[in-house]
Amino acid sequence: MKQLTTPISDEAIRDLKVGDSVALSGIMVTGRDAAHKWMIETFIKKTRAPQDDDLQIHEELKKLLNGSVIYHCGPVVAGLDTKEYKFIAAGPTTSIREEPYQADVMKHFNVKGVIGKGGMGPKTLKGCQETPAVYFHAIGGAASFLAQTVQKVHGVFKMDFGVPEAMWVIEVKDFPVVVTMDSHGGSQHAVIDEASKKVLDGLLEKPY
């Protein structure tokens, strides 16, 4: 298993291939549907005006995400009243919902990795080649185990989105993932889709 700590260099990303197991350590930021839509509309396409402290958050995110990782995760978090935050569950969210946004977000913030489950599509795969970046597949159904890799919650942005959709800044140690989309155009998800389609086409061709 390869060990990587954020910020991750372009060279380290280029060295990763589909199938590599990686233990991630360092700072990463969670982000789901609301966060990606907000980042695209406010800072990339600029179709909505920044509100409140959006510009300040943008500057903080540019520092935090530069060479780092976005985790598609809607965590269960304790300590909301005292702000002594602790992750109780931190399983991956299905990533394909971020397909319209992910490549642009990776490029804008120089994100080197995206963690989720289920994989992503051709636009994100192209973004992985250009940024460069990789898609890391995390273990579905292991939310409690993955939460144990979170050493510290450093803060949170956009709590007005709600706890699952907010952008949590976390520090992890040995977070286990597998590369399933790399910066060389490789995608295990595309391979599986194609193989599944062939099987389905074969079944549909059989006379009954």
Q: In sequence order, what DSSP letters do the residues of 16-80 get, joined into one string? A: --TT-EEEEEEEEEE--HHHHHHHIIIIIS--S---TTHHHHHHHHHHHHTT-EEE-B--EEE-T
36 is catalytic: yes
Identity of residue 58: H
The Cα–Cα gap between 8 and 15 comes to 11
Active-site position among 36, 72, 137, 189: 36
Residues that are catalytic: 36
